[in-house]
Amino acid sequence: YLRSRDFWSNTSLILTADHGEEFGEHGFSGHPHELYDTLIHVPLMIYSPFVKEAGMTIEQPVSLLDIFPTVCDLVGIEKPSHLQGKSLSPFLIEKPKKRDEGVISEAFKKEYEGSMNVGKHECTISDLGKVSYRTKRWKYIYSLNGRDELYNIKNDPMEQNNLIEEEKAIARKFRKRLREHISKQRTIKRKTLKRKLRKRISETREKIF
């Protein structure tokens, strides 16, 4: 269809998923409020005529938050200043580069499931259940109930051997980074967010179309 309409030469395609699934690897099934790789490590494939090298694989952990700023770069529009994600265009358009920082993921407490959708709840940092910091080698999970976890992803990709007691220096370094991240978070009022989001979507559509 894209080729028949002459869209293929200037169209970018992105394939991904919002979450994975657990099949008993950590004692539960489905996609509960956890941050193991079985749940947060999802496919991300990008096709674009602007990609310099086709078929390349990027091992650097990235975030789904990076998709929106990447799209902005690919279509040539200005990125909103409030975005937390970082564009992947340096990987795609230029030579692949390494990032020094890891990727942060968050999981809300189970009792707040659905509250983000109904617009009656103000999400604060106290609503978080767990926060993780993921690099190519390490995954640190900071739990607000006190049960922290540290895994060597290179040697233990299924995250079965918690090294929180053996690698205290590494855990301490990642814990500091996560606490800095948490301290920056602010309350998000759903109604205000929706109003601002609708305005930005409308402005972006006008720029694109």
Query: Which pLDDT tens digits describe the chain residue by residue (209 residues)?
Result: 888 888 888 888 999 998 888 887 887 777 777 888 998 899 999 988 878 777 888 888 999 999 999 999 988 899 888 888 899 988 887 765 666 678 999 887 665 444 444 344 455 545 567 889 999 999 999 887 778 999 999 999 999 999 999 999 999 999 999 888 877 765 444 555 566 666 766 666 565 54
pLDDT for the residue 201: 64
If DSSP states are collapsed to H, E and C, what string results for the chain? CCCCCCCHHHCCEEEECCCCCEECCCCCEECCCCCCHHHHCCCEEEECCCCCCCCCCCCCCCCHHHHHHHHHHHHCCCCCCCCCCCCCHHHHCCCCCCCCCCEEEEEECHHHCCHHHHCCCCECHHHEEEEEEECCCEEEEEECCCCCEEEECCCCCCCCCCCCCCCHHHHHHHHHHHHHHHHHCCCECHHHHHHHHHHHHHHHHHHHC
pLDDT for the residue 50: 79
Structural domains in the chain, sorted by start: 8-208 (3.40.720.10)
